[in-house]
Amino acid sequence: MSSATTADAPGVTGKPFSWRFTAPLYIGSALNPINSSLIATALVPIATGLGVPIGQTASLVTALYLASAIAQPTAGKVAAVVGARRVFLVGIMLVLLGGALGGVAQNLSMVLIARVLIGLGTSCAYPSAMMLIQRRAAASGMAKPPGSVLGGLQIAGLATAALGLPMGGVLVETAGWRWVFLINVPVALIALAAALIGIPRDPAAQTPGTIKGVLTGIDLIGIAGFGLAMTALLGFLFSLQAPNWLLLAAAVLLFAALTLWELRATSPFLDVRLLVRNGALTRTYLRYALIALCVYVVMYGITQWMEAARGMSALSAGLLLLPMSVISGIVIVPISRRNLIRGPVIVAAVASLAGSVGVLFLTSDTGVAWIVLITVIFGVVLGTASSGNQLALYTQAPPEQLGVASGLFRTFGYLGSIASSAITGIVFHTDATDGGVHTIGLIMIGVSLVAIAFTVFDRTLRTPTRTASPA
């Protein structure tokens, strides 16, 4: 993306946001969303290859979601204590290890461990990248957020998610399911080399101290409590076809206990008081989760319907999602360059409503052009929502807490994605029918209306003017 000149960056020699600096951040941030969808076309071949029931391979999807939802804010907190570059590099090495392990796995347990490692590793990239960008902008004396760079990060981090389905189909059909994991090895090696060369070392002030000091600084008990509470919550969401109310009760109790602990913690993992005081940031999280729910229903639920009701192959259905990826990337660029917030998030909510109404007209006889039109609309939704809400996050979160705030931003996106999976699982419990698609459309309309309310009536959304300040 575009970069500031040396004159605009007195604290940094050369171009502060050259490709040498941004390339590893973009590559690292793309690994999580691509891996999230890459596995979809490989579940049946993995079951066949390892001789296990197809139902057991669903744990591979759950494992990455769970690991990522917990690890994203955790990585942000650790990065704030020990350094964003260190956390970024460790994350890439975990991806490398997970990819290699999955490529040689002999049983489902090894594949599951590989997915967890990939989930943990890829989760380190986005919050670390946000902190590194903020630190670079502050050192360069930039008066406004580096919108083009943030846009590039968003393109890499979200607009690439739809690429995982066709990419996975090609890999499985041409090279076998193991390459769904092995593809991470060369990409991780490239990202590791680029990061070592292009990302400056962390400040001396962030040199890790004693183990006790680090554990106190990252609030290990708070992280553990958050992990347990999220595990219970996500377990409940995944069980919605036959709700496990004990898991919901456990999640409520664990979040209550976590809140009490964080209110007393010296260096809280989750600043509960901030979330209460900073209503704008909390609304950004909720708004993003709602839009993510609708986008992922189209990405996975409508895809499932296309395969079942229209008889499309997984590869063909995945290719129909490419317009969503392309359009979202195109939309992100001009919005990010202008540092726009309010207009894009309003467009995202309204377009989500329009696209959801379009879902009501889908039938088994609907022409492919109508399906493509819906994916194009949700490409606009994805592009405007991701760029606008990310910039809102960048300006609303306190600089010293941007890492955790960025991780939570992704976590809320996962909640929306998991909720979409639960909805499609309930509606398509027996079969993916036209009636089921229409039910999903009605749900999406309701969610979109709530998103519009969270957007149109939020007067805190405005174009940022404050100077980026160092953590």
Q: Residue 185 pLDDT > 90, yes or no?
A: yes
pLDDT of residue 468: 41
Rounded to the nearest integer, the mean pLDDT of the chain is 85
Residue 88, sorted as left (phi over 0), alpha (psi -120 to 50) or beta, turns out to be alpha
Between the CA of residue 306 and those of 15, 236, 292, 365, 366, what are the distances in Å?
Answer: 47, 27, 20, 11, 11
- For residue 91, the model assigns a pLDDT of 96
pLDDT in tens, 273-285: 888 888 889 999 9
Give the model confidence (pLDDT) of 126-152 as tens digits: 999 999 999 998 888 887 788 889 888
What is the pTM for the complete model shown? 0.83
Least confident of 173-187, 291-305, 367-381: 291-305
What is residue 325's predicted lDDT score, i.e. its pLDDT?
Answer: 80
- The pLDDT of residue 206: 60
Beta carbons within 8 Å of 400's beta carbon, 6+ residues apart: 80, 471
Kindly indicate the confidence band of residue 469, based on its pLDDT and cuts at 50, 70 and 90.
very low
pLDDT average, residue stretch 266-294: 89
**pLDDT for 9 beyond 60:** no
Residue predicted with more confidence, 317 or 254: 254
pLDDT tens-digit readout, 42-91: 887 888 888 888 767 877 877 888 888 889 999 999 998 889 999 999 99
User: How far, in Å, CA of 68 to CA of 336, rounded?
Assistant: 26
C-alpha 263/C-alpha 144 separation (Å) is: 33
Q: For the segment 304-351, what is each residue's pLDDT rounded down to a tens digit?
A: 788 777 777 766 776 777 788 888 888 988 888 888 888 999 999 999
pLDDT band at 245 (very low <50, low <70, confident <90, very high): very high
pLDDT-derived band of residue 12, with 50, 70 and 90 as boundaries?
A: low
* Over residues 97-104, mean pLDDT: 95
Q: ∠ CA 460-462-467 to the nearest 5 degrees? A: 105
What pLDDT score does 1 carry?
40
pLDDT at residue 407 greater than cutoff 60: yes
| Strand boundaries in 95-161, DSSP class E | none
Look at residue 81 in the predicted model and tell me its pLDDT: 87
- In this predicted structure, what is the pLDDT of residue 440? 92
Q: What percent of the chain has pLDDT over 90?
A: 40
Please list the helix, strand and coil fractions of the chain in percent, rounded to the nearest 5, in that order: 80, 0, 20
Please report the pLDDT score of residue 127 as a whole number: 93
Give the pLDDT of residue 272.
85
pLDDT confidence bin for 210, thresholds 50/70/90: low
pLDDT at position 415 over 80: yes
pLDDT band at residue 428, thresholds of 50, 70 and 90?
confident
Dihedral, 145, 188, 67, 428 alpha carbons, nearest 10: 90
